[in-house]
Each structure stands twice: as structure tokens, then as C-alpha cells.
């Protein structure tokens, strides 16, 4: 891997440095609204931090990791140099430019609208422009993924797309389509209002358009992790992938069902009808299918590794697993957090149960556990796995990595479990401080204190991650970097169905379902006169 | 599209056929349950027939039971003014000129160039929509004042707008923006959540500026105390939907004095 | 290298195990969806989904949400309706009165930005979006007082936006409601 190495490294470095900075903000936020701290002197500072933390963690970190990992897969899985490196750099610099513009705007306090930026509240147009630039930079990446696959197929007619590349493209197509929702919201509704070209904005429609992106984006975030589950984990722990076909099935199911389910974020909204809410809820149940299939396939693949190491009996293979291998720890931690986070997700998506926890801290605890926990822990492993390829360094210290993973796992549980509980106790979201002296709020106080310590543990883990990556080369260079391989299937000769070697059908389904599930609500809301309400620009005049 | 070979779309491909059929079946089933079956158990969905029920499930707006028909209260608005963003924009130079002339009548209480020496509020640099709203409320009698009602009733709607444009064009009276150092009284910088008192700076500038919320720095202290007391007692009611009365209701007299003294401190320099 | 027949046999075992699991997954999904449908039918419960529009600019001038019409009413047919408005940074009325053990229909709208509220630890929970009226019906089984915070970020005063809901014993509520006025527990 040569041409793309620097490109991939650039993506990962910016991603993880931004990540570390956002971790500092997150830990501070938890502390400042806990009973350990006096109320912040100016609540706007808290909301400024929440905006920055959310924007980096949701829009910058996962996008850059997916992009970098995608470029690496193009070279490593297709075994050919990356086509369009210059365009890749153009995309990278667009993302950086957007990040910088948004970051500066947030830092001076002109964009404290949180990363969900729901109108009619409006921030400075520079914030939105920054986000747009980030998204446009990622669209260049999408195009490059398509182009690289096409070039490979021309040279390898009839061949089966390697699983890693298949998942990569599924993620790219998914992102391209899902980003349309927020892009339309920002370009058509928000920017004209933020620039002062109009005094009214359709707040209900903006929420629906944002929901188009808001759920499926988490599956875009999830793709690198699942690609790692299928193509890195089995090989790293000395096993085989139980079924290549199942991996493809999971990826195409994500492609089809991630999109048309966003309205489950709007269950409590008065501008969407009950019929659409139910349809989205039922289809959200469908999107848990690929995760359940993945859990089976990966556990089975891990079992293969255990039995190959001599494990016997119904559970003896668990003890035989290579627990000193960081990848083994990571996938085990990820699955534990996926289990808890997934269970929480089932509550959120249940049409009626959602009413109990909507917009309470349960929701925040949930997505920190499932995204910050189960997904991001594999982002670390992706970086660790690729680092020798990218930098020519000697193998990284397994002990340090294990420490970093343990800190992340423990920190995430300590952070998020009390967070779920306090949501059940009714604590609302997104407040800069709470008056814990009231008898109704007093029982909530200890949960926030515990979460604060969880946040500190996570911060330590994040800083250790950066340390490990930064000092890798200093620890020594490899005389020869071993050839990078992806996992092999347990039954490698199995033919891949044509439908699982292409994307046309699944993309058509994704678009078709989106039209059915979103078409009418969008058109309808756009045509309602009363839905256009006055804009409320934030900040002093 | 990458990976696009004819066979992925071919109906003869059993996998393709089954996938498409299952997806259609699933979608239709969800639609039937969501749009027909579930709404049918709600009387107010069913009230106007099947098609109306489907439309309601789809989110077509309609009026639901519990609407206005059952209310009998006398509708007494506390203010007639509708605040719009356009009101906050600067006036034309013609309007400012006319307003300057009209303002000559106001100098006895409100000071030359809008900086008052008495307990009347400063108007210099006040946001135009604030001046317009308060004058219109005096005109309609929704805000009471023995002096101001009479004066305002003599004005036309255009006069009111011109005055708003003029005063907004003047530099803000004796003030610098509120900073948020430690020295601010607690109610100004953090409010009191469980008494539903929002920080003053979240509406009155320094951090955020709500449309229609006046600039109050440098206002005479007695004026601020009197207005807060009037909101607290409910005597002043032209804050639409009680937005200020809700803030002041739980404040003590001492707190009113403290925040008024804080905002008036910039006037002390005179 | 295992011989072809053994490899093929093990592959069949693997595929069979996958297929079993796929059926189990399908069953799990079906159970979840069926539960949603059954509770939707049996208890007629659904999230607030009665779409209704309103002019946010003139709420204070005319219509159902004029200030003097806000609060809790008891209609001649026994229906209890609590009307409220959300704005930066308070709910009106600041203190809402509801009866114990009787269905209460909440109707809420916003004057400016997006708000939302949850009542204590109950499942009375909705978004309040300017331009729309949020309607839902619920019952409070026990008397007492609940805090009612705004739970959607609505600006730099969001953390101070707390109202209260007082659940009165049924008789006390009915006695107060007979007078026909709009009830609230706001101190005058």
C-alpha cells in the first residue's frame, strides 16, 4: 500500500485528533452539569461545547474513518493502486476546510444550535457551510469508491467482489443517499434563512428531512465496524469467517432498510401521521435483522478459532480463545455493548414504549453506548490493524492496546449505565445545569457523578489511543511489513449469488422504500402554509 | 452503477424475484396495518369515514376533537401586536427623519436624543420592534399609563413606525454589552430553573436577544423596578402569553431590586 | 486439505445452522412487531399523531390558545382538556392542574421554536412544534405534583424551562372545575 498510505494516514490522524479534542469537551460537559460543579457561569458556553462535541463526533470522526478505511480497502482488497488519489486529496481537504470553518464558527459562539441544528433556531451561515463542505468532500470519496470498483470489475470480469470491498461500497451508496436529506434541509431551507433571504422557515419539514439522514447515518458509521467484524476479526484471531454469503446479506439488508426508517426519531412529533410512524417502526424492526445475523456469523467464526485452538465442549472453546489478542478483546467488548445498546434501541423503536423515554437522558445514554461503545471500539482496531501497513512500523504493543481497550470498555459502561437509569427517572436532555436540591431531582444526582468518572476514564483511553499511534514509529520500524490479508471463509469455494455481487437491485429497493416512506410526508409538509414559521436567529443583535 | 450486471435485475433470477416479492409484501402489510387497522380503533380517526381515516393516518391536517368549539371563555387578548422579524429591520432614512421630528415631543421625559434624565426609560438605541410594540399597546390601551396612552392615541400607525426607526438608529444609551463575569447577579446569568426564572441574558442580550425583548442596560432603576413589580402583580399584561409575568412571578422584591440595580448600573456613570 | 465430500458435508451443516438462526431472527422480529400492533389495537395507544396546523404568529390574538383560554377545562360531557403554550422560556400556564384517574387531553403548541415536555416520570411526553398542535390523551393514576421540564433544546434559557403539573384528587378537581373557569395552579 503506497499511493494511498499518506492519504489514509491523513484521514485517520485528523479523525483521532479531533476525537481526542471532542473527548475533552465531553468529559468537561458531564462534569459541569454534575453536582460536583457549580452551575456554569454562562449557559451558552455549555451549549457551545455540546455543539462542538456533537459535530466532531457525528460528522467529522466517523466520516474520516470511513473514508480512510475505504481507501485502504480499495488497495488492500482489490490488490491494485488506488485510482484517483488526487481526487482523494481534494475530498480530504474539503472535509478539513469544512471542519475548520464550522469549528471556528462554533468556537466564537455563533453556532450554539447543537449538532442537530433544528430550525427555527438559526446559527451563522458559516456553520452550515462548514457542514456542507464536509459532506461534499465525502461525496468525492463515494465517487472514488464506485470508480475503483468499476475499474477492478473491468479487469476482472465475472469475479466475485471481495467481501471487504462489497461492504465498503454498500456503506458508500448508503451514505450518498442518506446524506441527501440533511443536504436538502441545509441547502433549501436553512441556508436561505440563515443568510437572511427569507424570514420564515418550515420547521416541521426540516425535522422530517433531518430524520431522513439522522437514522441511516448511524448505519454509515456502523459499516466500517461490521466490515472489520467480517473481514478482520476472524483472520486476526486465527479463525475463519463462518459464511461470506451471510456477510453480503447483512450488508445489502443495511443498504435497503437503513434509510426508510428515520421517522422513528419523530414518534413524538405532531406533524407526522400515525400511519407513517407505524410503518417506520415496523421497518426499524427489519433493520435489526442484519445485526442479529451478524452476531450469529461472527460468534460462529470466533468459535471456529476457539475450536482450532483445541477448545472442546459447548463452552470450552470460549476459554480457549486468544484472549491476549487485542482483537479478541475488542470484538468481545463490542458485542457486549452491542447487546445492551441494541436492547435499548429496541425500546426506542417500539412505537408505544418510546413515549416513556423520548428526549430523556436515556436516549443520550443509548447512543453513547451503541455508537461510542460498540462501533467506535472497532474504529480503534481498524487503525491498529492498518498502522503497520500505513507507517511501516513494527507491530504495536499488544499490552498497551489491551489497556486502552479495557479503559474504553469499562469507561463506557460506567458512563452509560447510570445515564440510562437517570433517563428513566425523567431527567430531560440538553440542559446546562440541574437543581439537584429539589426532592424529585435529588435521586438523579449520583448517576451524573458516576457518569462523570466514566467520562474521565474514556478520556484517558482516548489519549492513550493517540499516544499508541503517535509513538508507533518510534518503537521501531519493521524490517518487512507482512502482507495484509482479510479473513478467509470457512468454505471458500461457495459460489456467490449474482444478486450479492452487485448493488443495483438493493439501491433500487432503498430508493423505492424511501419514496414510499418519506414521499408523502415531505410533499405534504412542504405545502402547508402554517408550517412556515418565523426564524429565530441565535446570539446577540 | 458499479456491480451492475443484467442478472441482478433479472426476474428469472430466483433470489431477485423472492427479494422483490417479499419486500413488496412486507411494505403493503405495514401500510395496511398502519393506515387501516391501527387507526380503526380510535374513534376520532374513524369519525369521518374510511378515506378520512386514511388521510388522517397519513398526516393530513384536520381539526381534532377538543378544538375551539367547546370553549366559551371570552377571548381577551392582552396585546394586539404581532411581532415579525421585518419589524426589527432598520427604517428608511425618510422614516428616521420623520421620527426625529416626532421625537422632539418626547424629549421632556425621555431626554434629548433619547437618553432620559428622569425615571422614564431611555429610548436611544432601543430595538425598533420594541418601541413599535409598546407604543401600539399604549394606543390600544393594552398597556396602561396615564401619560403615554393619551400621547400614543394621538399618533398614527406610521408615526409609531417612524419613531421606532428613529430611536433604533441612535447609539445605545450609556452602555456596553453585558459581560458574563462572576460579578453578575445569579438571576441575570443563570436564573433559577425550578422557579422557572430564565437567565436575563438569554433574552435581553449579552448572550441571546429575543425578538421584542427590550435592551435594558442603563435603564433608570426606578423604571425597571416599577415594571417588574407591575408584571409580578399582573397589572402589566401586554407581554404576550405571559412571557415576562412567568419570569417575575417567583422573584422576591429583593431580587427585583438586585437585577434592576445591576442593569441600571451603567446609568450611574452620569 | 479435507477431501471434497467431507468439506461439502460440513458446509451443509453450516448452512443448516444459519438457516435455523435466520428463522429464529424472523420469529424475534415478528414478535416485536406483533407486540406493537397488539398494544396499538388493544390499548389503542399510539404516539401523539393527530396532525393539526395553527398560525404560530397569532396565537395570542385569536383562536384556542389565547392566554385567557389556556389552562384546564371540564366540558359538559365530562371531557378534561389541558391547553398550554410553550415559548422561550416558559410554559403557559406555569402550573397545570389535572384530575386523578380521569383521562386528560393535552393540547399544546409553540410560539417560537421547537420545545417539548415530559411530565415527571410518566409517559406524558410530546414534542411541541410551532405551526402545529400536539394532542394526546393520558390518565394520571396518583395525585401529587410532578415537575414538567422542557426536553428539547430551545435556546440558552432551555435549562430554566420547568413547569409543574399538580394532580388533584378527583373530587377536588371537579369542585374547582364546576365554576367553568380555566384552571391552573399559578399563584396569583
User: Which pLDDT band, with edges at 50, 70 and 90, does A388 fall under?
Assistant: very high
Are residues B89 and B165 part of one domain? yes
Q: Which domains does chain A carry?
A: 5-472+500-537 (1.20.210.10)
Has residue B179 been placed in a domain? no
Of C51, C70, C181, which is closest to B59 when you measure between CB atoms?
C51
CB contact (8 A) between residue A296 and residue C46: no
List the subunits that have 3+ CB pairs under 8 angstroms with C: A, B
Indicate which of C50, C112, C151 best probes the interface with B, i.e. most B CBs within 10 Å of its own CB.
C50
User: Does C21 reach chain A within 8 Å, measured CB to CB?
Assistant: yes
Q: What is the mean pLDDT of residues A219-224?
A: 97
Report d(CA A134, CA A93) in Å as an integer. 9
Q: Can you give the pLDDT at residue B270?
A: 41
Cβ pair C37:B38 closer than 8 A: yes
According to the model, what pLDDT value does residue B9 have?
65
Condensed to tens digits (0 to 9), the pLDDT of residues C154-165 reads 999 999 999 999
A502/B39 touch (CB, cutoff 8 Å), yes or no: no
Q: Do C60 and B202 touch (CB under 8 A)?
A: no
Domain contains B250: yes
Catalogue the active-site residues of A: 215, 219, 366-368, 429-430
Q: Which residues of A touch C10 (CB under 8 A)?
A: 491
One domain for residues B95 and B157: yes
Closest Cα of chain B to C174: distance in Å?
A: 17
CB within 8 Å: A282 and B15:
no
The shortest CB-CB distance from B202 to any of C52, C73, C89 is to: C89
Q: Which residues of B touch A278 (CB under 8 A)?
A: 30, 33-34, 38
- Return the residue of B nearest to C179 by Cα: B73
Q: Return d(Cα C163, Cα C151) in angstroms, integer.
A: 11
Q: Which whole number is the average pLDDT over A254-259?
A: 94
Quote the domain boundaries for residue B228.
186-264
**C137 vs A contacts (CB less than 8 Å):** none
- Separation in Å, CA of A202 to nearest CA in chain C: 9
Q: For residues A450 and B54, give the distance between their C-alpha atoms in angstroms, rounded to a whole number.
A: 48
Say if residue B162 is in the same domain as residue B194: no
Q: Which residues of C touch A355 (CB under 8 A)?
A: 47, 123, 125
How do residues B198-248 score in pLDDT, each as one tens digit?
A: 999 999 988 899 999 999 988 999 999 999 999 999 999 999 999 999 999
CB neighbours of C87 closer than 8 A, spacing ≥ 6?
B241, B243, C110, C111, C112, C115
**How would you classify the pairing of strands A532-534 and C90-92?**
unpaired
Query: DSSP letters of chain B?
Result: -TT--HHHH-TTSHHHHHHHHHHHHHHHHHHHIIIIIGGGG-HHHHTT-HHHHHHHHHT---PPTTSGGG--S----S--PPP-GGGGSPPPHHHHHHHHHHHGGGHHHH-GGG--SSSSPP-TT--HHHHHHHHHHHHHTSS--HHHHHHHHTS-HHHHHHHHHHHHHSPPTT--PPP-STTS-HHHHT-BGGGTB--GGGTBSSS-B-TTPPP-TT--HHHHHHHHHHHHHTS---SGGGTTHHHHTT--HHHHHHHHHHHHGGGGG-
Last residue of one domain, picked from the residues B141, B169, B197: B169
Residue of B nearest to A513 (CA): B27
Which pLDDT band holds residue B70 (cuts at 50, 70, 90)? very low
B126, three cell numbers:
432601543
Overall average pLDDT of the B35-39 stretch: 91
pLDDT score of C173 more than 90? yes
Q: What pLDDT, on the 0 to 100 scale, is given for residue B118?
A: 87
| Chain pair A-C, CB pairs under 8 angstroms | 203
Task: Kindly state whether residue B145 falls inside one of the protein's structural domains.
Answer: yes
Decide: helix, strand or coil at residue C91: strand
Tell me whether residues B2 and A536 touch, CB distance under 8 A: no
CB contact under 8 A, A121 and C154: yes
Mean pLDDT value across chain A = 95
**Please, which residues have CB within 8 angstroms of residue A113's CB and are 6 or more apart in sequence?**
A51, A121, A122, A123, A127, A538, C153
| Shortest alpha-carbon distance between residue A57 and chain C (Å) | 19
Per-residue DSSP letter, C183: B
Q: Is B4's pLDDT higher than 60?
A: no
Over pLDDT 90: what percentage of chain C?
71
At B267, the pLDDT band (50, 70, 90 cuts) reads low
- Separation in Å, CA of B42 to nearest CA in chain C: 7
Domain-located, residue B141? yes
Annotate A55-116 with DSSP letters as a single string: HIIIIIHHHHHHHHHHHHHHHHHHTSPPTTHHHHHHHHHHHHHHHHHHHHHHHTTS--S-TT
CA of B194, closest CA in chain A: separation in Å?
Answer: 7
Query: Given B122, B142, B169, which residue is the final one in a domain?
Result: B169
Cβ separation C50–B241 shorter than 8 A: no
Total count of domains within chain B: 3
Residue B108 lies in a domain: yes
Q: Within a domain: residue B175?
A: no
| pLDDT value at residue B65 | 61
Query: CA-nearest residue of chain C to A44?
Result: C156
Q: Is residue B181 part of a domain?
A: no
Q: Are residues B37 and B100 in the same domain?
A: no
Other chains touching B, judged by 3 or more CB pairs under 8 Å: A, C
Q: pLDDT-based confidence at B5, cuts 50/70/90?
A: very low
Which residue is listed with cell 426607526? B165
Assign A525 a pLDDT band (cuts: 50, 70, 90).
Answer: very high
Using pLDDT thresholds of 50, 70 and 90, give the confidence band for residue B90.
confident
C53 touches chain A (CB under 8 A): yes
Cross-chain residue pair A424–C121, CB shorter than 8 Å:
yes
B55 and B31 within one domain: yes
Contact B64 C147 (CB under 8 A): no
pLDDT interval class at B268 (50, 70, 90):
low
- pLDDT value at A18 more than 50: yes
- From B18, B39, B73, the end of a domain falls on B73
Asked whether the beta carbons of residue B201 and residue C156 sit closer than 8 angstroms, the reply is yes
**Model confidence at A34: pLDDT above 90:** yes
Name chain A contacts of C22, Cβ cutoff 8 Å: 293
**What pLDDT is recorded for position A420?**
97
In angstroms, the separation between the Cα of residue B100 and the nearest Cα of chain A is: 23
Does residue B122 form part of some domain?
yes
Beta bridge partners of C103: C139
Beta-carbon contacts of residue A78 (< 8 Å; ≥ 6 apart): A148, A149, A152, A162, A165
Q: What is the structure's pLDDT at B3? A: 39
- Over residues C96-118, the pLDDT tens digits come to 999 999 999 999 999 999 999 99
Residue environment code for A183-211, b if the CB has 16+ CB neighbours within 10 A, otherwise e: bbbbeebbbebbeeeeebbbbbbbbbbbb
Disruptive mutation site among B205, B241, B249 for chain C (greatest number of C CBs within 10 Å): B241
Contact C48 A270 (CB under 8 A): yes
| Residue of C55, C157, C162, C165 for testing the chain B interface, max B β-carbons within 10 Å | C157
Confidence of residue B16 (pLDDT cuts 50, 70, 90): confident
Residues B94, B68 within the same domain: no
pLDDT at B8: 55
Residue C89 pLDDT greater than 60, yes or no? yes
- Judged against a pLDDT cut of 70, whether residue C46 lies above it is answered with no
Considering only residues 59 to 78 of chain B, which have any Cβ-Cβ distance to chain A shorter than 8 Å? 59-61
Q: Are residues B90 and B165 in the same domain?
A: yes
Give the CATH number of the domain where residue B132 resides. Answer: 1.10.760.10
Q: Would the pLDDT of A2 be above 90? A: no
Best to test chain C binding among A54, A245, A293, A355 (most C CBs inside 10 Å):
A355
C68/B74 CB distance under 8 A: yes
Amino acid at each position: 500500500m503506497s499511493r494511498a498510505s499518506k492519504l489514509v494516514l491523513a484521514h485517520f490522524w485528523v479523525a483521532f485528533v479531533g476525537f481526542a479534542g471532542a473527548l475533552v469537551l465531553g468529559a468537561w460537559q458531564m462534569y459541569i452539569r454534575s453536582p460536583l460543579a457549580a452551575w456554569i457561569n454562562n449557559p451558552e458556553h455549555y451549549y457551545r461545547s455540546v455543539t462542538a462535541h456533537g459535530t466532531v463526533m457525528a460528522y467529522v470522526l466517523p466520516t474520516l474513518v470511513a473514508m480512510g478505511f475505504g481507501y485502504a480497502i480499495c488497495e488492500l482488497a482489490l490488490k491494485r493502486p488506488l485510482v484517483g488519489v488526487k481526487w482523494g486529496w481534494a475530498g480530504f481537504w474539503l472535509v478539513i476546510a469544512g471542519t475548520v470553518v464550522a469549528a471556528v464558527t462554533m468556537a466564537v459562539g455563533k453556532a450554539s444550535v447543537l449538532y442537530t441544528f433544528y430550525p427555527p433556531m438559526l446559527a451563522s451561515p458559516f456553520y452550515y457551510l462548514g457542514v456542507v463542505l464536509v459532506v461534499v468532500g465525502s461525496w468525492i470519496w463515494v465517487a472514488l469508491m464506485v470508480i475503483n470498483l468499476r475499474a477492478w470489475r473491468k479487469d476482472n470480469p465475472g469475479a466475485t467482489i471481495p467481501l471487504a470491498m462489497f461492504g465498503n461500497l454498500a456503506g458508500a451508496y448508503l451514505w450518498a443517499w442518506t446524506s441527501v436529506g440533511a443536504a436538502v434541509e441545509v441547502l433549501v431551507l436553512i441556508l436561505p434563512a440563515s443568510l437572511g433571504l427569507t424570514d420564515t422557515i418550515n420547521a416541521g419539514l426540516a425535522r422530517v428531512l433531518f430524520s431522513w439522514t439522522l437514522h441511516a447515518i448511524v448505519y454509515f458509521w456502523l459499516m466500517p465496524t461490521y466490515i472489520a467484524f467480517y473481514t478482520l476479526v476472524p483472520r486476526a484471531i486465527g479463525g475463519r469467517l463462518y459464511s461470506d454469503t451471510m456477510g453480503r446479506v447483512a450488508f445489502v439488508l443495511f443498504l435497503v432498510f437503513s434509510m426508510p426508517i428515520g421517522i422513528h426519531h419523530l414518534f413524538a412529533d405532531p406533524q407526522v401521521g400515525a400511519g407513517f410512524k407505524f410503518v417506520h417502526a415496523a421497518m426499524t424492526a427489519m433493520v435489526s435483522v442484519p445485526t442479529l445475523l451478524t452476531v450469529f456469523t461472527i460468534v460462529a467464526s470466533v468459535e471456529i478459532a476457539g475450536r482450532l485452538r483445541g477448545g472442546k465442549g459447548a463452552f470450552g472453546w470460549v476459554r480457549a480463545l486468544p484472549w491476549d489478542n487485542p482483537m479478541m478483546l475488542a470484538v468481545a467488548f463490542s458485542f457486549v455493548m452491542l447487546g445492551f445498546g441494541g436492547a435499548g434501541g429496541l425500546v426506542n423503536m417500539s412505537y408505544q414504549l418510546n413515549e416513556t423515554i423520548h428526549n430523556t437522558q436515556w436516549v443520550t445514554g443509548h447512543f453513547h453506548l451503541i455508537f461510542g461503545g460498540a462501533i467506535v471500539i472497532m474504529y480503534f482496531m481498524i487503525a491498529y490493524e492498518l498502522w503497520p501497513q500505513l507507517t511501516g512500523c513494527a507491530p504495536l504493543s499488544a499490552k498497551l492496546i489491551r489497556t486502552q481497550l479495557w479503559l474504553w470498555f469499562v469507561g463506557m459502561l460506567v458512563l452509560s449505565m447510570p445515564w440510562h437509569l437517570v433517563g428513566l427517572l425523567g431527567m430531560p436532555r440538553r440542559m446546562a445545569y440541574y437543581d439537584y436540591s429539589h426532592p424529585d431531582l435529588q435521586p438523579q444526582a449520583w448517576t451524573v457523578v458516576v457518569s462523570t468518572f466514566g467520562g474521565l476514564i474514556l478520556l484517558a483511553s482516548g489519549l492513550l489511543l493517540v499516544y499508541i499511534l503517535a509513538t508507533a514509529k518510534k518503537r521501531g520500524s519493521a524490517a518487512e511489513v507482512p502482507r495484509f490479508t482479510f479473513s478467509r471463509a470457512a468454505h471458500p469455494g461457495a459460489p456467490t449469488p449474482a444478486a450479492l455481487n452487485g448493488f443495483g437491485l438493493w439501491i433500487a429497493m432503498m430508493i423505492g422504500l424511501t419514496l414510499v416512506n418519506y414521499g408523502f410526508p415531505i410533499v405534504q409538509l412542504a405545502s402547508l402554509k402554517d408550517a412556515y414559521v418565523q426564524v429565530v436567529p441565535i446570539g446577540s443583535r | 452503477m458499479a456491480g451492475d450486471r443484467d442478472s441482478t435485475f433479472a426476474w428469472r433470477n430466483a433470489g431477485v424475484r423472492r427479494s422483490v416479492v417479499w419486500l413488496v409484501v412486507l411494505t403493503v402489510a405495514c401500510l395496511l396495518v398502519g393506515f387501516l387497522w391501527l387507526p380503526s380503533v380510535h374513534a376520532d380517526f374513524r369519525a369521518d369515514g374510511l378515506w378520512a381515516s386514511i388521510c388522517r393516518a397519513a398526516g393530513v391536517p384536520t381539526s381534532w376533537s377538543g378544538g375551539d368549539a367547546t370553549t366559551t371563555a371570552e377571548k381577551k387578548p392582552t396585546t394586539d401586536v404581532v411581532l415579525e422579524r421585518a419589524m426589527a429591520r432598520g427604517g428608511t432614512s425618510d422614516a428616521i427623519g420623520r421620527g426625529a421630528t416626532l421625537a422632539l415631543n418626547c424629549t421632556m421625559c425621555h431626554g434629548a436624543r433619547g437618553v432620559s434624565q428622569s425615571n422614564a426609560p431611555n429610548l436611544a438605541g432601543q430595538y425598533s420592534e420594541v418601541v413599535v410594540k409598546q407604543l401600539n399597546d399604549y394606543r390600544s390601551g393594552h398597556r396602561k399609563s396615564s401619560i403615554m396612552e393619551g400621547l400614543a392615541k394621538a399618533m398614527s400607525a406610521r408615526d409609531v413606525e417612524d419613531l421606532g426607526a428613529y430611536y433604533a438608529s441612535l447609539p445605545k444609551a450609556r452602555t456596553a454589552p453585558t459581560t458574563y463575569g462572576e460579578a453578575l447577579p445569579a438571576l441575570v446569568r443563570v436564573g433559577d430553573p425550578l422557579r422557572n426564572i430564565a437567565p436575563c441574558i438569554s433574552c435581553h442580550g449579552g448572550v441571546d436577544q429575543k425578538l421584542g425583548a427590550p435592551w435594558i442596560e442603563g435603564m433608570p432603576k426606578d423604571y425597571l423596578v416599577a415594571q417588574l413589580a407591575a408584571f409580578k402583580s399582573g397589572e402589566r399584561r401586554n407581554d404576550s402569553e405571559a412571557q415576562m409575568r412567568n419570569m417575575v412571578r417567583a422573584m422576591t422584591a429583593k431580587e427585583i431590586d438586585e437585577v434592576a440595580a445591576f442593569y441600571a448600573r451603567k446609568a450611574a456613570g452620569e | 486439505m479435507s477431501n471434497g465430500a467431507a468439506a461439502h458435508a460440513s458446509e451443509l451443516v453450516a448452512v443448516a445452522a444459519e438457516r435455523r438462526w435466520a428463522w429464529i431472527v424472523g420469529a424475534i422480529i415478528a414478535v416485536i412487531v406483533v407486540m406493537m400492533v397488539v398494544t396499538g389495537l388493544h390499548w389503542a395507544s399510539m404516539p401523539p399523531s393527530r396532525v393539526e396546523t395553527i398560525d404560530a404568529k397569532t396565537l395570542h390574538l385569536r383562536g384556542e390558545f389565547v392566554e385567557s383560554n389556556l389552562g384546564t377545562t371540564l366540558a359538559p360531557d365530562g371531557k378534561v382538556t389541558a391547553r398550554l403554550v410553550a415559548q422561550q422560556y416558559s410554559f403557559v400556564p406555569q402550573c397545570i392542574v389535572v384530575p386523578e384517574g380521569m383521562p386528560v387531553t393535552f393540547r399544546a403548541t409553540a410560539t417560537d421554536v421547537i420545545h417539548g415536555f415530559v411530565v415527571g416520570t410518566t409517559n406524558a411526553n410530546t414534542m411541541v412544534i410551532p405551526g402545529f398542535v400536539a394532542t394526546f390523551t393520558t390518565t394520571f393514576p396518583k395525585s401529587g405534583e410532578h415537575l414538567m421540564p422542557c426536553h428539547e433544546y430551545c435556546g440558552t434559557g432551555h435549562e430554566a424551562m420547568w413547569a409543574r403539573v399538580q394532580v388533584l384528587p378527583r373530587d377536588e378537581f371537579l369542585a374547582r372545575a364546576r365554576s367553568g373557569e380555566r384552571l391552573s395552579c399559578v399563584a396569583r
